[in-house]
Amino acid sequence: MGLTMAIATVGYANAATLGGITTRTLGAFSVSGGSSAPTVAGCDDFTGTNGVSLNARAATVAAPCANRTWTVHVGAWTIQSNRAAANATAAAVATQNVTASGASARVELTSLNTGSRSGGVVVSHNGTTTYLAAVAIDGSPDRTELRLVNAGVPTVLASANTPLATTNSIRLSRAGAAVTVQLDSSTVLSYTLSAANQTTLGTGTRPGIYSGNTNVRFDNFLTDRP
């Protein structure tokens, strides 16, 4: 499952399909294309022994991600059946040691679409409790939210009703003030950060994962920079 596929390659669509993610069999985590192709900055397939803590754990994929390690900021994250999982702590967050103020983060979510569960990705994390998050939420109706979390206090910047499946991919991209959220390669939210929003986020650069429920599982994490 996921990024351990020895010859998996992650690429990005052209302007006609902006934000779409494609895969093809060329080489582990190389990004082909011209000079405008994004650069893989971090990734993980979470392969490992059940119960091992995610904190200080190195990514289990080939270069350029093998030197990436995780920091758990909120909650207790472990490996469960070759996926990442958090305990029941609300708004559990873990990030990778990637420096990318302008970047996108993507992850696959499983076991999300029941019981008011939630999960997603974060970017621009400052290493403590301030970050930008895209969170998919099971509910009536299902929805996806863009949140600005300042010193642990969340503010919903935008929201869209988005039906969820057993497995979903969610992607959060930021380029300066421009933010987009994709669910299963379809853009569901576009937002422009205010000057105040950008000041709040400051120099935060770390990407990562977000969990609101102990049963949600995370796989195939990927972050890239332009």
Domain ranges across the chain: 41-225
Percent of the chain having pLDDT more than 70?
A: 83
Average pLDDT over residues 44-73: 90
Check the CA dihedral 106-193-131-98 and report its sign.
positive
Alpha carbon 31 to chain centroid, angstroms: 18
When pLDDT is averaged across residues 7-23 and rounded to a whole number, the result is: 34
Judged against a pLDDT cut of 50, whether residue 124 lies above it is answered with yes
For residue 224, the one-letter residue type is D
HSE-CB of 3 using CA atoms within 13 angstroms:
30
Q: Report which residue type is found at 182.
A: Q
Confidence (pTM): 0.84
* Cα–Cα distance for residue pair 82/118, rounded to 1 Å: 20
Domain covering 41-225: architecture: Sandwich (2.60)
| CA-derived radius of gyration, the chain | 16
Both tokens of 106, joined, read 């993507």
